[in-house]
């Protein structure tokens, strides 16, 4: 007879990851009140994930490609105009082992977007989006922590330590404010393009509160209400401060914090003189915070009885521990030439990363790729807005220690603080910050015993009275004792063994119990 003492712990078990390329295409006509298209200057877009559904062996991701084009027209009153729209998509991604009610983490970026002019009033959007899904099964695990018996039950235990998410928070912040163009500028006719860049500047932890400070930078490209229909650009930075209440925070906890832009909306408003020179806006973004802590449990991984046959119900688990999260900021700067004309004024610059390779060389984790740069500027040769594009190579290096190199490493990068200035009439100095987030993880597969029941007594009469067993390579004293349902102490006493270590090729005597 024996008594079982059970316990429970919660794990986040990674089921699998997979990604796909979504091909997005749409033919669109401009509305009747818009002037004809002479030339499409710029095409930009972003991916917005709306919904993720997990079912048997797959994840279904639904979202929108939100695009904006800026074009020139022959219309004398409105030479520059813009149009926004969206292309809905649904992608099924196979993830073996996925089941309903499991959690998911989605990553997405726009790999390519371009527009094709079909007629004066029609254009086609062509885009490629990379969608990746991590499926995680967060669930309780029942296990046997202690066995009480009359000595007949033999148990093998293991002390497991793993790092799991102890606390997770997503909090939405918003900034409602306005920017005003200079008094000498012409009134605003239309907003052609709106930008927002949000990034964290400082994180402080005080007891069970985390202070997050950052900057939200907004920018607006607009057409002016004058007889030459010129364009202008205004940008301004807005600081933010936010407190996150942490639960059971400790000094040795691993923390991971990032910020994700949700939306930016704006309107043109009049100032005190009733001039259309104010752009009011609302931008929203999420601050995502995770707190990792070490969980330690003593579990029984195997057992047998010297008296009874046992039915054992066990589960194999893949425990994934996040050992370290490291953020590195790499300052980047490069020069590129525009394709045509001369630069009279720079309006805006957008930078998106494309990763081509990740490698570990010595103690360096190296990410290589390209930064795709879209620049909008005032072409001095024709006194009209124009676009320049460049794909600039980059290398980001994160120094690892010896322990880090033995881990499974995942990483991602974000671009912020993009700036550009004219170096001469036809070249631009572009700069930005590349934030590299590297996560070091370790995996450990363990077998957890859930239940044990007796299936009847052992018939020792079927066993020979004496057995001489040759120890095989990799065989332990536990393996032999379990195979013949004898206790380890009995086996050691019988063979006058002082340790549990066995030498391959040596002989072990197993005597039948009477």
Residue 228 φ then ψ, to 5°: -110, 0
DSSP string, 428-458: EEEEEEEEEEEEEEEEEEEEEEEEEEEEEE-
Within 10 A of 450 (CB to CB), how many other CB atoms are there? 13
For the chain, count helices (H), then strands (E): 3, 20
Distance between CA atoms of 82 and 68, rounded to whole angstroms?
A: 7
* CA 110 to each of CA 86, 114, 351, 404: distance values in angstroms, whole numbers, following the listed order: 14, 11, 12, 31
Q: SS in 3 state form for 394-430?
A: EEEEEECCHHHHCCEEEEEEEEEEEEEEEEECCEEEE
What pLDDT, on a 0 to 100 scale, did the predictor assign at position 227? 65
Domains of the chain, start order: 1-149 (no CATH), 151-306 (no CATH), 333-439 (no CATH), 459-514 (3.10.350.10)
| pTM reported for the whole predicted model | 0.82
Confirm if 494 and 467 have CB atoms less than 8 A apart.
Answer: no
- Short-list 377, 384, 391, CA closest to 336: 391
Tell me whether residue 202 is exposed, middle or buried, using C-beta atoms within 10 angstroms of its C-beta: 0 to 12, 13 to 18, 19 or more: exposed
pLDDT tens track, the chain, 514 positions: 567 777 787 887 788 899 999 999 999 999 888 889 988 999 999 999 999 999 999 999 999 999 999 998 876 555 788 999 999 999 999 999 999 989 998 989 888 999 999 999 999 999 999 999 999 888 888 888 777 777 788 888 888 888 888 888 899 999 999 999 998 889 999 999 999 999 999 998 877 888 999 999 999 999 888 766 688 999 999 999 999 988 777 777 888 899 999 999 999 999 999 999 999 999 999 999 988 888 888 888 888 888 888 888 888 887 888 888 999 999 999 999 998 899 999 999 999 999 999 999 988 999 999 999 999 999 998 888 899 999 999 999 999 988 888 888 989 899 999 999 999 999 999 999 999 999 998 888 888 888 888 888 888 777 778 888 898 998 889 998 988 888 888 888 988 888 888 888 898 898 876 5
Structure tokens at 293: 């802590």
For residue 41, give every residue at least 6 positions away whose Cβ sits within 8 Å of its Cβ, in sequence order, or none: 70, 71, 72, 80, 376, 385, 386, 387
Structure tokens at 371: 């930064």
By DSSP bridging, strand 122-149 and strand 103-119 are antiparallel
Distance between CA atoms of 442 and 404, rounded to whole angstroms?
A: 10
Q: Hey, which residues does 439 pair with through a beta bridge?
A: 325, 410
Structure tokens at 57: 């062996």
What pLDDT, on a 0 to 100 scale, did the predictor assign at position 238? 97
- Short-list 130, 117, 122, CA closest to 89: 130
What pLDDT, on a 0 to 100 scale, did the predictor assign at position 84? 92
DSSP string, 294-307: EEEEEEEEEEEESS
3-state secondary structure of 30: coil
For residue 36, give the DSSP letter.
P
């Amino acid at each position: 007879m024996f008594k079982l003492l059970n316990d429970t712990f919660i794990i986040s078990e990674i089921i699998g990851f997979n990604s796909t390329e979504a091909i997005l295409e749409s033919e669109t006509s401009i509305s009747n009140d818009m002037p004809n298209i002479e030339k499409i200057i710029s095409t930009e877009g972003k991916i917005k994930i709306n919904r993720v559904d997990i079912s048997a062996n797959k994840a279904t991701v639904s979202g929108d490609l939100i695009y904006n084009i800026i074009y020139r027209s022959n219309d004398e009153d409105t030479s520059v105009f813009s149009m926004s729209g969206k292309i809905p998509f649904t992608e099924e991604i196979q993830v073996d082992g996925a089941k309903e009610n499991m959690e998911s983490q989605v990553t997405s970026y726009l790999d390519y977007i371009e527009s094709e002019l079909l007629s004066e009033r029609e254009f086609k959007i062509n885009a490629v989006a990379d969608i990746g899904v991590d499926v995680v099964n967060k669930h309780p695990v029942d296990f046997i922590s202690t066995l009480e018996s009359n000595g007949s039950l033999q148990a093998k235990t293991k002390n497991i330590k793993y790092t799991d998410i102890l606390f997770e928070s997503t909090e939405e912040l918003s900034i409602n404010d306005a920017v005003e163009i200079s008094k000498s500028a012409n009134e605003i006719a239309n907003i052609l393009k709106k930008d927002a860049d949000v990034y964290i500047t400082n994180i402080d932890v005080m007891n069970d509160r985390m202070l997050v400070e950052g900057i939200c930078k907004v920018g607006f490209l607009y057409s002016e209400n004058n007889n030459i229909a010129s364009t202008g650009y205004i940008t301004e930075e807005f600081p933010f401060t936010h407190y996150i209440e942490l639960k059971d925070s400790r000094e040795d906890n691993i923390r991971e914090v990032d910020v994700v832009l949700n939306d930016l909306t704006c309107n043109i408003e009049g100032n005190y003189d009733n001039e259309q020179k104010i752009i009011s806006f609302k931008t929203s973004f999420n601050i995502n915070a995770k707190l990792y802590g070490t969980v330690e449990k003593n579990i029984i991984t195997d057992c047998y009885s010297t008296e009874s046959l046992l039915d054992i119900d066990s589960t194999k688990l893949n425990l994934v521990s996040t050992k370290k999260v490291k953020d590195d900021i790499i300052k980047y700067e490069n020069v590129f030439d525009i394709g045509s004309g001369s630069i009279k004024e720079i309006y805006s610059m957008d930078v998106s990363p494309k990763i081509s390779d990740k490698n570990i060389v010595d103690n360096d984790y190296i990410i290589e790729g390209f930064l795709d740069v879209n620049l909008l500027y005032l072409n001095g040769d024709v006194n009209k807005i124009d676009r320049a594009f460049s794909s600039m190579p980059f290398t980001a290096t994160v120094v690892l220690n010896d322990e880090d190199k033995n881990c499974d490493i995942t990483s991602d990068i974000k671009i912020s603080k993009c700036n550009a200035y004219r170096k001469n009439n036809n070249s631009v100095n572009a700069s930005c910050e590349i934030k590299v987030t590297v996560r070091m993880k370790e995996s450990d597969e363990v077998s957890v015993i859930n239940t044990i029941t007796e299936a009847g007594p052992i018939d020792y009469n079927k066993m020979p009275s004496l057995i001489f067993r040759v120890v095989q390579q990799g065989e332990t004293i536990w393996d032999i004792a379990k195979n013949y349902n004898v206790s380890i102490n009995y086996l050691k006493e019988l063979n006058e063994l002082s340790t549990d270590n066995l030498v391959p090729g040596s002989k072990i005597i197993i005597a039948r119990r009477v």
